[in-house]
Structure 1
Amino acid sequence: MQLFGSDVLAVAERLTDAYVEVFTAPPWDHRDPAATRKAFRGRLEADAHRPGFRAALSLSPEGEVDGFVTGWITQAPFPADRAYGKVTQRLGSVSVDELLVGAFEIDELGVRERARGTGLGRRLLSALTATAPGGRAWLLTWDQAHGTLAFYRRLGWHEPKPLAGQGTDVVVFLSAPASAPPGRTT
Structure 2
Amino acid sequence: MSKDSEERTGMRLVPWQPDDLARRLDDVMAVYGEAMGYRSELLEARRGYIASHARRPGFRAVATLTNDGHLAGFGYGYLSHPGQWWHDQVYNALDPAARTAWFADCFEVVELHVRPPAQGHSLGARQLAALLRMANGSTTLLSTPEADEATSRAWRLYRRFGFRDVLRGFRFPGDERAFAVLGRELPLTPPAS
TM-score class normalised by the smaller sequence: 0.7 to 0.9
- Which deviates more, 137-146 or 38-47? 137-146
The amino acid of 1:171's aligned partner reads A
- Identify the match of residue 172 of structure 1 among 181, 184, 189: 181
d(CA) in 2 for partners of 1:180, 1:130? 9
Count of residues in Structure 1 that have an aligned counterpart in Structure 2: 170
Higher strand share: 2
d(CA) in 1 for partners of 2:188, 2:147? 29
Aligned to 2:134, the other structure's residue is in SS state coil
The amino acid of 1:54's aligned partner reads R
The amino acid of 1:61's aligned partner reads N
- Identify the match of residue 42 of structure 1 among 45, 48, 73: 48
The amino acid of 2:80's aligned partner reads T
RMSD (Å) for aligned C-alpha atoms:
2.6
Segments of structure 2 that go 5 or more residues without pairing to the other structure are 1-12, 171-177
Deviation at 1:3, TM superposition (A): 1.4
Equivalent residue for 1:17? 30
- Identify the match of residue 155 of structure 1 among 161, 169, 175: 161
Please report the TM-score for the alignment, with normalisation by the length of structure 2.
0.75
Equivalent residue for 1:130? 133
| Runs of 4 or more consecutive aligned structure 1 residues displaced over 6 Å after TM superposition | none
8 Å contact 1:139–1:173 — kept in the other structure?
yes
Please report the TM-score for the alignment, with normalisation by the length of structure 1.
0.78
The share of aligned pairs that are identical, in percent, is 28
- Identify the match of residue 69 of structure 1 among 58, 75, 89: 75
Aligned to 2:24, the other structure's residue is in SS state helix
Alpha-carbon spacing, 1:21–1:167, altered in 2? closer, same or farther (3 Å): closer
Segments of structure 1 that go 5 or more residues without pairing to the other structure are 25-30
- Identify the match of residue 3 of structure 1 among 15, 35, 45: 15
8 Å contact 1:3–1:55 — kept in the other structure?
yes
8 Å contact 1:73–1:103 — kept in the other structure?
yes
Equivalent residue for 1:88? 91
The amino acid of 1:9's aligned partner reads A
Deviation at 1:14, TM superposition (A): 1.1
Equivalent residue for 2:173? none
